[in-house]
Amino acid sequence: MKVWFKDKSWYIKAYCRIKQDYRIFIIARIKDIKILEEHFERELPKETSTNYKMKMISLELEIKKEMSYRVYDEFEKENSDFIIKVEFPENDWVYGYILSFGEHIKVISPEYAKNIIREKLKTVIRIPVIEEEK
């Protein structure tokens, strides 16, 4: 009925014959899939109130080749230089996700996202380092 990407995973909304109801499945967890010739006509279920519109951010990122395994896993590669154009919900998760690439990523656009990341890095730098006991 529906396929979407959220929090680094692909999901599918489908009718579950076992539960006799619509369910959400994480595609990566499906171990045995068969393509059947069956067809059916069903009305889409009404969306629940948990499906709300999020503010989205369109990012252009340059990711170094050392992170190519992540690019192959998480994005459809646009070209060999790993210039990625992607749209994510704009929230703290997306900025943490970008920062998880460390020095291997550069935000090309938008400019305000670069500024948000700069401010987050300044905050991290201000956090005192606790020395380990010897």
What pTM value is reported for the model? 0.50
Predicted confidence (pLDDT) per residue in 30-72, tens digit:
888 788 888 777 666 565 545 556 788 888 888 888 887 777 7
Cβ neighbourhood burial of 31 (10 Å; 0-12, 13-18, 19+): exposed
Predicted confidence (pLDDT) per residue in 96-117, tens digit:
989 998 888 899 999 999 999 9
**Predicted local confidence at residue 49, as pLDDT:** 45
Within 13 Å and on the Cβ side, how many CA atoms surround 25? 18
